[in-house]
Chain A
Amino acid sequence: MALQSQQPAPGAPSVASAVPRPKANKVSALLHRSPRLRLAGLITAPAGWLVLVYIAALAALLITAFWTVDTFTGKVSTAWTTDNLVTVVTDPVYQRITLRTLWIAFAVTVIDLILALPMAFFIAKVASARWQKLLVVAVLMPLWASYLVKAYAWRNVLADGGLLEWLGAPLGLQSPGYSETAVILTLSYIWLPFMILPIYAGFDRVPDSLLEASSDLGAKPLATVRLVVFPLLVPSIIAGTIFTFSLSLGDYITAQIVGGTTQMLGTVVYANVGAANNLPFAAAVSLVPIAIITLYLFIVRRTGALNSL
């Protein structure tokens, strides 16, 4: 290549150059010669990490789900059985819990979407540059507080004689108490920033000139939103829903703090690991949200939403 042109022709008297050439580094020369080795050096560490942490952990979980536990001694016995999976899929209790968890995740996602769209639009397109910065900080602010602090704060808000009851009293509204509704409210609050940020980024990427062009061509504001903004925004919205949906699907802490008697998939897993000491069954239950999320990701992959994450 380029280096070879500097080699003197064989037999020609060598001209001592004024600048001594640095000695070639053996390692870099070797890497230069073999692209496969170069690739291996670059990719081994991250790939190893992925295999170890993700794939091996998931495989271990999958395997454990096929074992059972001696309930008296609490030791896992490694005889193969599909009882756990059959129970999770066929037992009406777990079907109910799965549907309830799906409903909670869905409701949280819809509520966050309804709240996030106008907020993100205002921050990205209406607010002045200075306000824009302040508002983004304000949206991020709740993330600085610990998840537990926020959940316990809601426990107080929802309590008898708490803030919600006090606010609702003039309107004749009651606090939902510790219930499924309370879980939906609390989770919607906790995950809201995760919905606002991608949608805000999406709005930010829609150039103002596009909106102007659209109105120059005679589109009314609503038509502009429907035909120009929304199609550009879909990937960002899906990115946001992935966050809120998957985080709600796996939640167990909020359900314990404000859920009252509400059981979700997460709390069942937690109860089986921590209390009932039945790791295989917990593994079988935890495969349900994994399956749902995997399915969801496959569906949204076609929209290109994952590229804007």
Chain B
Amino acid sequence: MASRNRATLVVGLAAAAALALAGCGTSGGGSASPSAQATKTEIGPGEGQLSILGWPGYVEDGSNDPAVDWVHPFEQETQCKVSFKPFGTSDEAVTLMRTGQYDVVSASGDASLRLIAGQDVQPVNMSLLKNYPDVYPFLKDKAWNTVNGTNYGMPHGWGANLLMYSTDKVTPAPTSWSAVFDDAAKNTGKVTAYDSPIYIADAAVYLMAHKPELGIKNPYALDKDQLAASVNLLKEQRKHIGEYWSDVVKEVQAFASGSTVVGTTWQVGANIAAADGAKVATLLPTEGATGWSDTWMIGSKTKNPNCAYKWLDYIASPKANAAVAEYFGESPANPKACELTKDKAHCETYHSGDEAYAKQIWYWTTPVAACLDGRKDVKCTDYSEWTKAWTEIKG
């Protein structure tokens, strides 16, 4: 009997707790109309600390490589002590930013609009930032950093998602993404791909070149049939994948041990691998590639707005921008950085300022139902459908 009474009590308590919680289930979701007004009119003295959320390799304090350090100079200059949290995918960045624990974030195009719509970042008064006038004009006022004429951050730099291969194991050297799609069987079990729904766009870029009859005009604007074609391609690829990566360090390690020989990467991965003595090379395949154009944004709940503004200004300053761009392997946002890179040919290598080249890269953008390529007669698939498709691809 006692145990029955106890069971009743537990059930009763659970029911009470559930009822109390059910009271939560009434409010609607947040409204998606951002307040478009930068309130800040001057940068005051720093608050003494700054928490940064960024891509790995964007905030280096010398702990990975003593020669690579642009955080300490910033701390000395501003007295803002930096704490850094890296993330592996844009989705992770959006989730972490929603906690309100971070002052600034380096957002790629597939995260920035979601952050703005979710009111997780605030408008930035660009006139307070000394280095903004120097930034390449083709990076300013773009769809991924500006909404209704309101600027939301400082352009950081841009680059392409490249194809990396082990030079001693993959011969002849690949020139096309077919190395990871149609010809993946040659290296079956040793192919790698980026572990995020946004990777579906890479398959779409490939199909644009090889299956023009699908009529894909923009890899981020896929209707149901185009998405299905991309998903099928990725399901074929899945048979040959050894590992999906979202942690670039783990990817590099797989290349170093030979568990992976070909796949998509960022230049920073190739740089780390080369530094470790792995025989790898990267290329921008003939089909073009997806890529990123990043923006430093300020959290809407930040308690350190002055340090945040100082960071945005600092990271676009010629010296810091050169150091980041060179370490990560991307084009700087500030042309003055080109004179300060260790490798004088850096900006040439990455086609900085080459607007025509920059246009060949399909920058990460969040797919939405209203087609980004301007089609009005069909509904495009949005990011939630991409997320479900991605789970299905991985099986």
Give residues of chain A (216-274) contacting chain B, Cβ–Cβ below 8 Å.
257, 260-261, 263, 268, 271, 273-274
B131 contacts A by Cβ under 8 Å: no
The verdict on B212 contacting chain A, using a C-beta distance below 8 Å, is no
CB distance from B333 to the nearest CB of A (A): 26
> Size range of the interface on A?
35 or more
Cβ contacts under 8 Å, A260 to chain B: 241-244
Which of the 9-residue segments A4-12, A27-35, A62-70, A117-125 touches chain B? A62-70
Contact (A72, B258) CB under 8 Å given A63-B18, A274-B92, A274-B95: no
* B297 CB to nearest A CB, Å: 15
Partner of A271, one of B26, B368, B391: B391
Q: Does B89 contact A (CB under 8 A)?
A: yes
> B17's contact among A51, A76, A155, by CB below 8 Å, is which?
A51
Contacts of B275 in A (CB 8 A): none
The complex places the Cα of A75 from the Cα of B27 at a distance, in Å, of 12
Q: What sequence of 0s and 1s flags, for each residue 149-168 of chain A, a beta carbon within 8 Å of any chain B beta carbon?
A: 00000011001111000000
B197 interfacial contact with A, CB 8 Å: yes
Known: A93-B392, A260-B244, A261-B243. 19 other contacts (CB 8 A): A56-B17, A59-B14, A59-B18, A63-B18, A71-B384, A72-B32, A72-B383, A73-B29, A73-B30, A73-B32, A78-B24, A159-B259, A161-B257, A178-B242, A257-B250, A273-B95, A274-B92, A277-B91, A277-B95
Q: When chains A and B are docked, how far (Å) is the Cα of A51 from the Cα of B16? A: 10
Structural contact, A59 and B17, CB atoms closer than 8 A: yes
A276 in the interface (beta carbon within 8 A):
yes
One of A75, A177, A276 near B197 (C-beta < 8 A) = A276
* Contact A263-B391, Cβ < 8 Å, known A72-B114, A72-B368, A274-B95: yes
Contact of B2 with A by CB under 8 A: no
- Complex: chain B residue closest to A78, CB-CB: B25
Q: Return the contact of A72 from the options B95, B244, B366 (Cβ within 8 A).
A: B366
A149 to chain B, nearest CB (A): 15
CA distance A279 to B315 in the complex (A): 33
Q: Which residues of A contact B (CB under 8 A)?
A: 51, 55-56, 58-60, 62-63, 66-67, 69-80, 93, 96-97, 155-156, 159-162, 177-178, 257, 260-261, 263, 268, 271, 273-278
When A51-B13, A59-B17 are in contact, do A75 and B391 touch as well, CB less than 8 Å? Answer: no
Chain B: minimal CB distance from A66 (Å): 8
Residues of A within 8 Å of B197, CB to CB, are 276
CA distance A75 to B95 in the complex (A): 10
Complex CA–CA separation, A56 to B17 (angstroms): 6
The 4 A-B residue pairs whose C-beta atoms are closest, nearest first, are: A77-B29, A71-B384, A73-B118, A160-B258
